[in-house]
Amino acid sequence: MRRLFSASNASCAAFLLLCAPLSAQDDPTSAMARVLQKVREKVAKSVVSIEVVRDKDPDGRGGSGPSSTHQDYFNRPEGPCTGTLWSEDGYIVTSWFNVSGEVRRVTVRTHDGKSYDAKRLGYDATRDIALLKIEAKDLPVLPKSKLDEAKQGDFVAIVGRAPDPDVPTLNHGILSAVNRMKDACVQTDAELNYGNVGGPLVTVRGEIVGITCQVKPRTNWGQSGGVGFACKHTEIDKALPSLKQNRSVERGKEPWLGVTPAEGAEGVEGVVVAQVAAEGPGEEGGLQEADVITEIDGKRVKTWEELRAVLETKKVGDVVKLKILRKDKAGVQQPKDVKVKLGDNPN
């Protein structure tokens, strides 16, 4: 054994080395793909598919979409949706949208194919999360990420279990923003859709950042448009005690005019209406695009901030008297009075 490295052994070794695989591709994209495959494998164990049987589904049909031939973009599809295991003994967090409506039965299927009847407990519509409970034990739960270290640009992934519960889906992207929806959510460009909402948003190490949420039929984004949100795990843990006790938080009743203002154009003494939300209170009251709101309930307003400050003193259902300027057929700004019954902000 003294001459382990004889000439022939050395050439064998050389031959081996030269043939030694650059087996896997070394570029960052391939490396990322391999990392994400491992993430999916690990994380999928904590992702469940959910089947819901409903009596009534008021959230299921969107309809403010521009084209009726693409209604399915705004309609809840039939079939399973996704949820995430939150405790070993069977608490499951999912998007409130997934289990909203008059629900008759909820069935959960875990990664090993077992089916469970689930109880729908509390939900927080302001966070778009809901809590389910199944009777089980030793379920795998994901570790939590350090949210105070989260940064814009962080690579993230989403695992879902729809439309095929047996083949978990994988979407990836970055954190587009770390504080949205009054700091309750992160924003990501990883695609969110009806299929994966309720699934976990995770880091490349498989730690949970939050639960994907906020896919709403009435908004124009979502459905894989590149703008999606996840409710931070810290927020979920804050809400958990209440949810466990079956206490629910309805959508924050935020008095809503139903218009998007145009910000910043000078020389305009008032708030310019850039968009009027379809089927919203502004539209009902007769507000139109390009209207300039100059007064609300007797108070002169020049900026959106001023207008919002007045709105915050009102309640949903209050009728406000607006003074606006609207260009007539001759193009002349004419003052008009418009009454709007404040709605409940769905956004």
Partner 1 sequence: MRTLTVAVVLSLSARVAAAQGSDDNHRKVYDATVDSVVAVRSLTAGGERSGSGIVVSKDGLVLVSYAAVPEGAKNIRVWMKGPKLYKAEIVGASRRDELTLLRIKPKGELKPIGFGESSRVKVGEVAYTLGNASNSMINNDQPSLNVGLISGSYKLDAARGPNTQYTGTVFETTAAVNVGMEGAPLLDGSGKMIGFVTLNYSPHRFLGNAIPIDVLRHTVEQLVAGKHASQIKGGGEDGPAETGAAWFGAAVVEQGGKLVIDAVEAGSPAESAGLRKGIVILAAGRKAFKSLAEWTAFAKDLQAGALLTLTVDDDGLKDDVKILLERKK
Partner 2 sequence: MNFFPASSASSAAVLLLCALCSPLCAQDDQDLEKVAELQKKVHAVVDRVKGAYVFIGGGSGVCVDPDGWILTNHHVAGGAQNWKVRFTGGKQYDATLVGFHPADDVALLKVRNGKDLPCVELGDSDALKIGDNVIAVGNPFMLGNGSWEPTITLGIVSALHVYLDNPGYKDAVQTDAQINPGNSGGPLIGMDGKVIGINGRIDVKRFMNRVNTGIGYAIPSNQIRRFMPHFKAGGRAFGGYLEGATVGECGDDRYENTGELGDGVFIAGLQDDTPASKAGLTTGDILFDIEGQRPYNLNRFHGIVGAWPAGSTVKVKYKRWDAAKKEFAVHETKVLLGDPEKLRAQEAQVGNLYLGFTPSYDFDDLGVEVDEVMEKGPAATAGLKSGDVIKKVGDARVRDWKDFKAALTGKKAGEKLKLVVLRDGKEMDLTITAEERKIEGMPEKQDE
How far, CA to CA in Å, does 272 sit from each of 5, 295, 304? 83, 12, 9
Q: Return the residue of 51, 54, 75, 147 that touches partner 1, per CB under 8 A.
A: 75
Q: Return the residue of 112, 265, 312, 315 that touches partner 2, per CB under 8 A.
A: 265
Q: Which of 228, 233, 234, 128 is nearest to 176 (CA)?
A: 228
Instruction: Please tell me whether residue 164 binds partner 1 under the rule CB under 8 A.
Output: yes
Compute CA 297 distance to the chain's CA centroid, rounded to the nearest angstrom.
36
Among partner 2, partner 1, none, what binds residue 179 when CB lies within 5 to 8 Å by partner kind?
partner 2
Q: Which two tokens stand for residue 174?
A: 């970055």
CA angle 304, 306, 312 (to 5 degrees): 100
Instruction: Please tell me whether residue 34 binds partner 2 under the rule CB under 8 A.
Output: yes
How many CB atoms are closer than 10 A to CB 160? 29
Choices 16-24, 42-50, 131-139, 309-317; region in contact with partner 2 by CB under 8 A: 16-24
Choices 153-161, 236-244, 247-255, 314-322; region in contact with partner 2 by CB under 8 A: 153-161
Q: Tokens 């650059």, residue?
A: 22
Compute CA 13 distance to the chain's CA centroid, rounded to the nearest angstrom.
55
Instruction: Please tell me whether residue 191 binds partner 1 under the rule CB under 8 A.
Output: yes
Kindly tell me which of 3 and 137 has the beta carbon lying closer to partner 1.
3
Instruction: Please tell me whether residue 216 binds partner 1 under the rule CB under 8 A.
Output: no
Question: 188: which residues sit within 8 A by CB, 6+ positions away?
Answer: 156, 158, 173, 174, 175, 176, 201, 228, 229, 230
What is the DSSP annotation of 119-184? Answer: EEEEEETTTTEEEEE----S---PPBP-GGG--TT-EEEEEE--S-TTS-EEEEEEEEEEEETTTT
Kindly tell me which of 78 and 148 has the beta carbon lying closer to partner 1.
78
Instruction: Please tell me whether residue 155 binds partner 2 under the rule CB under 8 A.
Output: yes
Choices 25-33, 89-97, 163-171, 280-288; region in contact with partner 2 by CB under 8 A: 25-33
Q: Return the residue of 1, 3, 4, 7 that touches partner 1, per CB under 8 A.
A: 7
- Binding positions for partner 2, rule: CB under 8 A: 1-2, 4-5, 13, 16-17, 20-24, 26, 28, 31-32, 34-35, 38, 65-67, 69-70, 73, 151-155, 173-177, 179-180, 187, 189, 204-205, 220-221, 223, 225-227, 260, 262-267, 274, 327, 330-333
